Chains A and B, each alone.
Chain A
């Protein structure tokens, strides 16, 4: 069963504006890691940003930042000054413990369109 929920299948934003993509997750673990991956039309999976659950400070990478609310199990991605190249599918994921190691568990994705 999916334990990562992205409630916005599609979103649109104008160039230079700010957009926030939502993600909630469910885990019983206390220490874990959360990720946002970008998948442009080329199909390549690209890591956008990573958050460590034990850190209170929200991660930032240039125009990308997260709002991590551990108690609410929420992990949203904010894209500032949106660019046409940000058009892509965005996947929220967390590294879950499996039998013999760890594996990424993905949400269903949000398709983001940046318009001129």
Chain B
């Protein structure tokens, strides 16, 4: 079980849109529409932002959206705000015995 691949960092200016990619394999991301995305601010627990690839939990801004193509999932944040600056992690279902695999995380900087 290898970690999913994310860019180490991305940045954008307030009001802009950014996309974070999450590349897995045909054993995880490519086989299931069960990718979730988490936001983590320093010293805090992660927060679920997207589940099942593109669905938002209640209370999460519609500026956050998710998609998938082949073995790669993506998180897009539109209308960047200063409070979006955080680390973002993707996670995929990886089968009935392993269950979950995380990406390495991406640090988002709002310029």
On whether the two chains bind one another, the answer is no
Residues of A within 8 A of B (CB): none
